[in-house]
Structure 1
């Protein structure tokens, strides 16, 4: 990178920090801090949803899969898109009118405090792991582009996100997400995609140059497609960072429309980056590490200035995902654990100050875990396996089957969580079996315990 590109990237980081400071003035109440006052219209809301769905793992991971498998690499992000669209179609109407901040609060009203506590813990672990994936990605990008050592690169990237999230809460995240959505869209759809295709001589030349298997929608394998379905379709529907963004909409109609729109955007994003990965295969066929396909191609084909903007778009995807996830984790701990079990009489000002302290603590933990794991896709798969396997069945079945009991939901979350962690040990953290066994266990337990228990009415 030359001086101009480095300057663009550093200016972008500076803008995010300034926006965080602006967010302080808007976060005057607990609802402002946690849900940005639930005042977002369609265009701002769809941008925020898309920004939180598509992180650095999605951006660089889709390009990597395009490089290795061709067009079928689009399934990775597309399953996320299908998940958020399904949430808009089937879930948002079911949670309409619920005055809650978290999934766990909703489960607590339906099934009691015990279920609220255990679901908050499980979901907080998931969101923290998502933060870890984004910090690893940020560190890798800064390390490659600016030449800084990997450890301080992770600490700096994570520190910037931590700073603006602590200051303004959801308002700072919302304002930065709007910027990040524009930068992401410009960098991928209007610069990286067309320039990559132009460099290989057009789409026809590209399709003739890559292996024939790269043009198959199933080249990645049905087993991998099914794994993505289990991890991301189910996971996005019950993800706290997604739900928290849904609650920032000014109406259910806006939330539903923007969820469907963000889903469509995600599918197009995954498709565009899979093609970029194929271009990288043609132009850089001898990469030693396919995970560097996006950054290596950008460094190869983009002129000064545009390179800095495109790399800022990668950082946008990373930072928006990280800020949303860390804030979601802090909200779960503050609202579903501290407010319920430790400090029940907190004022709004105390809730905000406690949230900021929790965000700081979680951010430091996430940075430490990032330095330890240093593998973005492994951390992401673990996060979604924990979430989908343990939370999906109790939440969705509970919304549609009123007969489900508190004991059944609590038992399902506990049992499936144990099965998932034991399966990680037995089959490895890259196996699909933990999430399959978690879903099956959760379904069997929640149905079995419900049918053998006395019917109960909702606790809400």
Structure 2
């Protein structure tokens, strides 16, 4: 890192802080603070969705998988893209008629306050774990670049995100997401990818230099591809940080089209970074830690100025994902727990103030967890296993099966969550079994209790006609 690269990074961080301050003036009402006023058009909304999907785990993780497994590393981010596209195609029409801010709010309207509470707790745990993955990534990047301790690096990276998220809420996050999407796109597609390919003599030379297995689309293994499907296809469809971004669009048409576009963008992003990882294998064959493949390759091949911009792109991916997940977790706790059970008469100003306090507490907690786990992919797998295994079945079944009872949904979430944590302990956090057992448990419980339960959910005529 020379003076020019350092200046680029400092300028970038300065812009984010300024945008955070601008967000204070825009966030006047609860809807402004939580959903940026729901005013986003297609192009800005695509950028926001892509930025929140593709975080540091996706950026650095795809490069790591490309280094270890080759082109098949693209399945990681591709499954995320399929998930967000499916959300746009199949669920947007169902969820937009409910006028809610959170997933647990929708479940509360469908099943009652008990289900709203437990789903808010489970989903808040998931979103907090997403923050953890991004703080770990920021710590890794800053540690490699500046040589500071990992803990100090996490404190600095996490602190910047915490600052602008607290200030302007979703307005600050949305404004920074647009900037971060542009920086990510330029940094990865127009700088890192072409420089990486050029450093090994072109694509033809690259494909002739890597092991033959690295050119197979299934080298990563069908078990891993299936695991990514379970984690990210299901997870992205019921992810609070994604939903909250979806609701910032100005209408349903924008929600659908931008979700599909963000999914397509994710595919090409994952493919590009898998190839970058393969280039890193050729240029740096004896790399001790494959998690540092992206940053180490950038340091080795990029000229001054370009290096700073690409590293800003990595920080963009990390920060956009971290801020969105952190704010989603704070929204769940404020909107679905505190506002429902503690302070029922909160006005817009009270909601904003409480959200800021909760965001601060969660940000500190995320940094503590990051220092404990210190592995991006493990933390991400845990997060999506909790979400997909416990929330996906009650949410989707409730949207499409009118008979589903509140007792069945509540019991399914509780049972699935318990099963997931037990199987984490038995099989380890990297196993696919927790999510499989969680989904299966939820499906069995919700079907059995609905068919043989004594009560049936009574919905308003408008909800019945809407779900039909």
- Counterpart for residue 466 of structure 2: none
- Counterpart for residue 185 of structure 2: 185
Q: Partners of 1:148 and 1:8 in 2: how far apart?
A: 19
After superposition, where does 1:74-113 map in structure 2 within 5 Å? Answer: 74-113=74-113
1:286 aligns with 2:286: yes
Q: Partners of 2:101 and 2:126 in 1: how far apart?
A: 17
1:376 aligns with 2:381: no
- Counterpart for residue 389 of structure 2: 389
1:132 aligns with 2:125: no
- Counterpart for residue 451 of structure 1: 451
1:249 aligns with 2:246: no
Q: Partners of 1:323 and 1:456 in 2: how far apart?
A: 36
Q: Partners of 2:240 and 2:370 in 1: how far apart?
A: 21
How far off is 1:381 after superposition?
Answer: 0.5
Secondary structure at 2:98 match in 1? coil
Gaps of 5+ in 1: none
After superposition, the C-alpha distances for 1:186-234 in whole angstroms (9 at most, x for unaligned) are: 0000000011111111111111111111111000000000000000010
After superposition, where does 1:284-433 map in structure 2 within 5 Å? Answer: 284-433=284-433
Contact 1:183/1:309, CA 8 A, preserved across alignment: yes
1:2 aligns with 2:2: yes
How far off is 1:458 after superposition?
Answer: 2.2
- Counterpart for residue 227 of structure 1: 227
| TM-score, scaled relative to structure 1 | 0.99
Q: Partners of 2:71 and 2:153 in 1: how far apart?
A: 32
Gaps of 5+ in 2: 464-468
How far off is 1:346 after superposition?
Answer: 0.5
Contact 2:197/2:206, CA 8 A, preserved across alignment: yes
Q: Partners of 1:350 and 1:155 in 2: how far apart?
A: 28
Q: Partners of 2:250 and 2:146 in 1: how far apart?
A: 41
Question: RMSD in angstroms over aligned alpha carbons?
Answer: 0.8
| TM-score, scaled relative to structure 2 | 0.97
How far off is 1:10 after superposition?
Answer: 1.2
How far off is 1:6 after superposition?
Answer: 1.0
How far off is 1:326 after superposition?
Answer: 0.3
How far off is 1:457 after superposition?
Answer: 2.1
Contact 2:111/2:457, CA 8 A, preserved across alignment: no
Contact 2:183/2:313, CA 8 A, preserved across alignment: yes
How far off is 1:47 after superposition?
Answer: 0.1
Contact 1:42/1:254, CA 8 A, preserved across alignment: yes
Instruction: Please identify, of 93-102 and 180-189, the stretch whose mean Cα deviation from structure 2 is larger.
Output: 93-102
How far off is 1:425 after superposition?
Answer: 0.8
How far off is 1:455 after superposition?
Answer: 3.1
- Counterpart for residue 214 of structure 1: 214
- Counterpart for residue 58 of structure 1: 58
How far off is 1:373 after superposition?
Answer: 1.3
